[in-house]
Amino acid sequence: MTTTAETAGMTTSRLSTSPFGRALCAMITPFTASGALDLDGAQQLAHRLVAQGCDGLVLSGTTGESPTTTDAEKAALVAAVREAVGERASIVAGVGTFDTRHTVELALAAEKAGADGLLLVSPYYSRPPQDALEAHFREVADACGLPVMLYDIPVRTGTRIEADTLVRLAEHPRIVAVKDCSYDFLAAQKVLARTELAYYAGCDEHNLALYAVGGAGYVSTVANVVPSRLRAVLDAFDAGDTRAAARLQQRATPLVEAVMASGLPGTVTVKALLTGLGLPAGPVRAPLRPAGREAVETLRAVYEEFVTA
């Protein structure tokens, strides 16, 4: 049986090793019906997410449609969300591109706009070898004063950030975290054991599992829709009720599957759900396309079953 003192100690330890908070949302980027950036909508969404348990927001990531937003839009989004949430939540800005020079420019712009940290994805398409990948990350981290979260998602970039590379990069004073979408749970545990990097689950089905072995929390796409429900999983675990944490994670599994494994990108499914809830979302930008009617009906049914359970 975990004592109150032990639970308090675990919570304090978690906070000290979670540089951007525990419950982070990979926030969508809302657009108007005409496809323009909807900053008012972004502020409304950010306020809702923080009010319902998110202590960090990741902007301009995969879910935020970063490949189709301009540099100016990315900076404006950071500034608007900063204004909306103040100091109530951390803001991590996605600045990764396939061009080191461009990535540095975006990092400096995000810092100026008010971000608390940077999300750096592996350069995609060019598929640099590990030494070049390491040099890329170091150059960006050296150029900017913000802490960095590396984003390992080889299914999209074509390049894995290998465990040994992560161990070396952990020596950099501003490289402090990893968003793990590698689906390599063993490698994640190896890096956790050898470094002080804060590991965030980037795949919602791993939120509890990674947390249980020392992860810092999650960067969740599904949190756009049910932020408080996902936060409850971590809260139950920190309170020492691991059975409740497991039960809450299991209950979320059908929604996680519907949003993230339905054959549609998470951006598409989340925007469909948010639109149905009357929240700012708007269309996706090409080449993405909106969810079809049948997909929307399925998503809505799964969502309704989850929230009424």
The tally of CA atoms less than 13 A away on the side-chain side of residue 174 is: 18
- Nearest Cα to 29, choosing from 17, 39, 19, 15? 39
Q: How far is CA 89 from CA 12, 56, 167, 236, in A?
A: 18, 5, 28, 21
Identify any residues that bridge with 219 across adjacent strands, giving them in sequence order. Answer: 24
Name the DSSP class of 39: H
Catalytic entry in 74, 151, 199, 218: 151
d(CA 255, CA 299): 8
Identify any residues that bridge with 119 across adjacent strands, giving them in sequence order. Answer: 94, 149
Catalytic entry in 74, 112, 125, 179: 179
d(CA 34, CA 121): 29
For residue 190, indicate whether it is catalytic.
Answer: no
Q: Where are the alpha helices (DSSP H) in the chain?
A: 4-16, 39-51, 71-85, 100-113, 130-143, 154-157, 163-169, 185-194, 207-212, 227-238, 242-260, 266-276, 293-308
Contact 110, 74 (CB under 8 A): yes
d(CA 30, CA 26): 13
3-state secondary structure of 177: strand
The tally of CA atoms less than 13 A away on the side-chain side of residue 153 is: 22
Phi, psi of 228 (to 5 degrees): -70, -30
3-state secondary structure of 87: coil
For residue 151, indicate whether it is catalytic.
Answer: yes
3-state secondary structure of 64: coil
**Residue 164 neighbours by CB distance under 10 Å:** 14
Catalytic residues: 151, 179
